[in-house]
Amino acid sequence: MLRISAFKERQLKVAANSEGAAAGVANNPEAMNIDDNASLLLPFTPVAPLPSSLTAIQEWEGYVTEIHETSFEASLMDVTRGMRYETEKAELLISDLSSEDRERLSVGAIFRWVIGYQTHRGMRQRVSQVYFRKMPDWSMVELAAVSKRADELLESLGLT
Amino acid sequence: MTPPDNDEIELSLFGPGFGECVVVHAGSSHWAIIDSCIDAANGVPASLYYLHQMALDPKVAVKMVMVTHWHDDHIRGISKVLRACTCAKLVIPSAILTRDFVRAVVEADEKTVSANSSGVHEIRAVFESEQMRNNPVLAGENQIVWSISAADLAHATPFELRALSPSGQQTLSMWRRIGKDFAAAKGRRLPQAGSNDLSIATWMTTAGEAVLLGADLEVHADPTCGWTPVINLAQQLPGTKAAVFKVPHHGSPTGHDPAVWQFMLQPNALSILTPWTRGSGLPRAEDLVRIRQFTNHAYATNLNQMVAVARRDPVVSKTLRDLNIRLEPAEGKLGHVRLRKKPGAPWAVDLFGPASRFSP
């Protein structure tokens, strides 16, 4: 049985409060009756909620694979279709990132890419936005909980 | 899909372009699964779907599951495989069962802010599986990890699977070499460079034949790591030189050691490989040319057939066109190279999906 970490519990609370959160739909090969408990536990959730004025039509979660002078390449997981693995790739422009996100750009960095409509003062505009994940501020309690889970696993493996 | 006869050996290689999996039939319904990859067509581990196609129950049929190393592409879906193969013995590299690595895996899994079922998540699931509590086999250099006596097999020849790596030196130095990758990751996707030499290459002997499965083992400057210690073992290995070779690391030059072909393989060994469709891709054209210099019998699970990019809402498609962003597939179609033989008979090769022969 997979546990939900303290951090991921926090993500779920954020998602519950967020209008813009996407409810991930898990692949579930019922026809083969394969136990797929893992897919039921963790719907896709952002660290920070989307602006309430943004209606997403398409979302990917991606991670950076290569960085060039003016662009970066990424592997993409189609969250809208409920994928759990990367099946696509693309090259995106660094100039399209906010200055904050440019600082977060590094190989392996995880981001969300949303295409949708943003409404502002009654005007509707089609947008494409990339949000890099902010590294969470881990509380001492959360860090201790992670360490405890690691200790429990080590003990069960006889590695204490 | 018909299952093999009880006295028939089978080696099936699956590879979609990200990931690979080997399914072995030792005879008399004794099956083994080595690594795991996902069939993008149904989201199911390729090994389990294949057994399902043959109406075989993995709970009963699969006696051994091996994880050759912890990289994403070799363990995608392994947690599902372990949950399905409840009677299977688990084999993992001895090098990864250390306090430092296990702790780092838990921390990296908890801190990676992603919904992706990553390699770290999967390897944690391996550590947390029931099979880990049931005396797993910790594989290292020149160690028998699975054997079946001739009396238990319809073809009346013994079956043996022997780990050839990682070497003792690699096991000792493992954390020193990959620990900094974990420390630097800090919530990002972990890089996978630098630890292929910790993977388990295996030597299979049965029915008078030997098979060399190269996993992702690479050549290494340090002669105590990579292929060199394996080649040095060659003279101690049972059986003759191998008639079948799973080419390591997707045919890349980093996995190629000509001494393997010279000392461990029969001339024109039947060679099989899986592609790698990320980055600039493997095998490259020059890799295929190189392999063809050593054998006339070379097959790949997929050389160029990708899963089509999904059709999307016209608004999304127009937005991508306006931004001049081209989505490309990162996943290939699942190809399957199947080898079957009975004692005294040659290997029969069958190709499924985009699998093809790339030698004359």
User: DSSP readout, B194-206?
Assistant: T-GGGS--EEEEE
The answer to whether the pTM exceeds 0.80 is: yes
Closest CB to A107: pick one of B76, B191, B331: B191
Residue contact B330–A89, C-beta within 8 A:
yes
ipTM of the complex: 0.82
C-alpha–C-alpha distance, residues B327 and A86, integer Å: 12
pLDDT of residue A48: 47
At residue A4 the predicted structure's pLDDT band, cuts being 50, 70 and 90, is very low
CB-CB contact of A66 with A89 (8 Å): no
DSSP secondary structure code for residue A29 in this structure: -
pLDDT of residue B220: 87
Residue A70, number of CB atoms within 10 A of its CB: 9
Smallest CA–CA distance, residue B288 to chain A, in Å, is 25
Which residues of chain B have a CB within 8 Å of the CB of A58? 312-313, 316
| Cα-based distances in Å from A16 to A44, A45, B10 | 11, 9, 50
Which residues of chain A have a CB within 8 Å of the CB of B323? 96, 128
Tokens of residue B340, six digits: 């079957």
CB-CB contact of B358 with B30 (8 Å): no
Q: pLDDT above 70 covers what percent of chain B?
A: 94
pLDDT of residue B149: 97
C-alpha–C-alpha distance, residues A141 and A6, integer Å: 9
For the segment A35-65, what is each residue's pLDDT rounded down to a tens digit? 433 332 233 344 445 566 889 999 999 999 9
Best interface-test mutation with A: which of B188, B192, B277, B278 has the largest number of A CBs within 10 A? B188
Residue contact B315–A150, C-beta within 8 A:
no
Largest CA distance in chain A: 62
Q: Which of A32-36, A96-100, A133-137 has the lowest mean pLDDT?
A: A32-36
Residue contact B112–A110, C-beta within 8 A:
yes
Positions of chain B with pLDDT under 50: 193
Residue contact B44–A61, C-beta within 8 A:
no
Residue contact A159–B97, C-beta within 8 A:
yes
- Asked if A153 is an interface residue toward chain B (Cβ–Cβ < 8 A), one would say yes
Residue contact A57–B315, C-beta within 8 A:
yes
Residue contact B43–A29, C-beta within 8 A:
yes
Closest CB to A110: pick one of B107, B127, B189: B189
pLDDT of residue B191: 60
C-alpha–C-alpha distance, residues B99 and A157, integer Å: 9
Which residues of chain A have a CB within 8 Å of the CB of B102? 150, 153-154, 157, 159
Best interface-test mutation with B: which of A3, A39, A58 has the largest number of B CBs within 10 A? A58
pLDDT of residue B169: 77
For the segment A107-150, what is each residue's pLDDT rounded down to a tens digit? 888 899 999 999 888 889 999 999 887 766 778 898 899 899 99
CB-CB contact of B51 with B64 (8 Å): no
Closest CB to A153: pick one of B102, B114, B330: B102
Residue contact A153–B114, C-beta within 8 A:
no
C-alpha–C-alpha distance, residues A114 and A132, integer Å: 11
C-alpha–C-alpha distance, residues A114 and A56, integer Å: 6
Q: Are strands A110-120 and A123-132 parallel, antiparallel or unpaired?
A: antiparallel
- B182: amino acid identity, one letter: F
Taking one residue from A and the other from B, the number of pairs with CB-CB distance under 8 angstroms is 164
Residue B332, number of CB atoms within 10 A of its CB: 26
Which residues of chain B have a CB within 8 Å of the CB of A7? 110-111, 113
Residue contact B99–A77, C-beta within 8 A:
no
pLDDT of residue A50: 56
Tokens of residue B281, six digits: 């891709």
Residue contact B116–A61, C-beta within 8 A:
yes
pLDDT of residue A23: 31
C-alpha–C-alpha distance, residues B47 and B296, integer Å: 28
Closest CB to B48: pick one of A8, A34, A149: A34
pLDDT of residue A41: 28
pLDDT of residue A51: 61
Which residues of chain B have a CB within 8 Å of the CB of A29? 42-44
Which A residues 79-138 touch B at CB under 8 Å? 79, 81, 84-92, 96, 106-110, 115, 126, 128, 133, 135-136, 138
pLDDT of residue B111: 79
> Mean per-residue pLDDT for A60-86?
91
Residue contact A85–B44, C-beta within 8 A:
no
pLDDT of residue B195: 60
Residue contact B80–A36, C-beta within 8 A:
yes
Smallest CA–CA distance, residue B259 to chain A, in Å, is 33
